[in-house]
Amino acid sequence: MPSSGVRITVDEESDSAYIYLTGEIRPGEAVEQVVLQETVNGAQIVFDKDADGFVIGIEIIGARKFLRATAPNSANTE
């Protein structure tokens, strides 16, 4: 599993954030999504897994409810 460090992107318009655990994720690399059944602080969490079953990214839908207000300032915003 290649690693280029953890990176976070925030889309303020859609109120979502994405945590890349393996650098860039190529199209089709995330083959399974695991959605937590319960929300966390009102946010929905989705784990993206690769073909080997490793978590390669985490999507947070409703990020404003989950992340500290200062988090988007330290993240890459898309």
The domain limits of the chain are 7-69
Span 4-17, mean pLDDT? 88
**Could you give the percent of the chain with pLDDT greater than 90?**
53
Q: pLDDT tens-digit profile of 24-47? A: 899 999 999 999 988 888 889 999
Round the average pLDDT of the chain to a whole number and report it.
84
Q: How far apart are CA 68 and CA 48, in angstroms?
A: 22
For 23, which DSSP code? S
What the block records as the tokens of 11 is 């889309």
Only one residue has tokens 């990214």, namely 57
